[in-house]
Amino acid sequence: MRKLKLQVQTSVDGYMAGPNSEMDWLTFEWTKDMSDYIEALMEGVDTIVLGRKLAEGFIPAWASRPEHEDEASIDWMNNTPKVVISNSLTESPWENAVVAGGDLTETITKLKSQPGGDLIVYGGGTLVASLIAAGLIDDLYLLVNPTAIGAGMPVFGPGAYQRVQLVEARGFECGVTALHYQPKRS
């Protein structure tokens, strides 16, 4: 069965965005050691899962081929199939993306049971909290930035109670720390 991985940038106090979805606190340049870590994490992943709100910015941003990103990352982000979780969209307005709605547990279980590589979810906040609360995440990769922002969109939102066990903690030259957790299942 395919795994569902969560990769999210977070502040040291557990927020993935500020109170108004600000991401301006993400000011640390990725160093080679961090890029290598992310590249290894992506091996075996063949599907990106996104919430609708994040997809609205994420997919067009990568499609615009941002100048500050390397060609391999741009190509991977654009060419990897995406599943947008939404109960308000009925069809995808984006190339290489499908919309899946309905019961979240049924949708993710169906995706995980299909043949193929692993799935990775980048967000958004509502989707992440719902996936955690439903126990659907197999591996949590928190990229902790050494900045406290005090308030905002938490990684572990309301109802997202989850006991986890640490698999690996790794610091990078840029100051970011990767924490890899797996759920502690009873």
E-strand ranges in the chain read: 4-11, 15-17, 45-51, 82-85, 97-100, 118-123, 139-145, 153-154, 164-171, 177-183
Strand, coil or helix: what is 38?
A: helix
Please give the Cα distance from 129 to 100 (Å, whole number): 17
pLDDT in tens, 37-86: 999 999 999 999 999 988 898 999 989 999 988 898 889 999 999 999 99
CATH class of 4-174: alpha beta
pTM: 0.92
For residue 86, give the nearest of 101, 106, 75, 74 by alpha carbon.
Answer: 101
Which two tokens mark 70? 């390397």
Domain boundary assignment for the chain: 4-174
pLDDT in tens, 34-46: 999 999 999 999 9
pLDDT in tens, 137-182: 999 999 999 999 999 999 988 777 778 999 999 999 999 999 999 9
Supply the mean pLDDT for the chain.
92
**Is-contact 94 55, C-beta < 8 A?**
yes
pLDDT value of residue 27: 84
CA distances (Å), origin 142, targets 1, 54, 63, 138, 176: 23, 18, 25, 13, 10
**Is-contact 124 51, C-beta < 8 A?**
yes
Please give the Cα distance from 62 to 69 (Å, whole number): 9
pLDDT value of residue 184: 87
Which two tokens mark 112? 């995980």
Average pLDDT on 107-111 reads: 95
Write 99-107 long-range contacts (CB < 8 A, 24+).
104/130, 104/131, 104/134, 104/136, 105/134, 105/136
